[in-house]
Amino acid sequence: MSIFRNFAIFILFAASAISISNAQPYSPADYKLQFGIAIENGTDSSVVLRSFMQEKQVYFLVVNPRTLHTAVLSNSALLFVPENLGKIAQLFSKSAYIKASKEAVVRSNQLQNAGIIRLPKIAKGVDLTIDLCPSKLPLDKDFLWNW
């Protein structure tokens, strides 16, 4: 059970990493934790993290286990196969997502530098992460949207 709890913490990290440029305002309904595999175009597989309803359509929050790119995809754009976390970890054991997940589990009980502190080298560029700790102050949206 501890591994599941720690993996869930990592999933929250992944869910917060959705590309801001793809973010759209919406009011999802029936938002829930849901694990599985999303098969797009009959070949490309992603890991399903969450599901929700929007305008009577089911959507999934997915992460590409190799590139760590996240997306929101409609049910009509993929084949969804429900799966447990153990099977997902087994299927994608050599992927950047599972390697990062394992590091997050190992560090999850630390007070400092818990979770992921470095990602596997996937491509050139910069990975920006932001810790959205509880605060009385509002989020500085100008910092995020003026890149």
CB atoms within 10 A of CB 12: 13
How many domains does the chain divide into?
A: 1
pTM of the model: 0.64
Amino acid 8: pLDDT: 47
Non-local (6+) Cβ contacts of 51 within 8 A are 30, 31, 32, 34, 58, 59, 60, 61
Average per-residue pLDDT for the chain: 77
- Structural domain of residue 69, as residue ranges? 2-145
- Checking if the pLDDT of 94 tops 80, the result is yes
Higher per-residue confidence, 32 vs 25: 32
Amino acid 63: pLDDT: 92
% the chain with pLDDT above 90: 30
Across the beta sheet with 70-74, the strand order is 70-74, 57-63, 44-54, 29-40, 79-82
Q: pLDDT, tens digit, for every residue of 36-73?
A: 999 987 778 999 999 999 888 999 999 999 888 889 99
Amino acid 18: pLDDT: 45
Amino acid 91: pLDDT: 93
Q: Where would I find the H helices in 16-133?
A: 85-91, 96-107
pLDDT band at 2 (very low <50, low <70, confident <90, very high): low
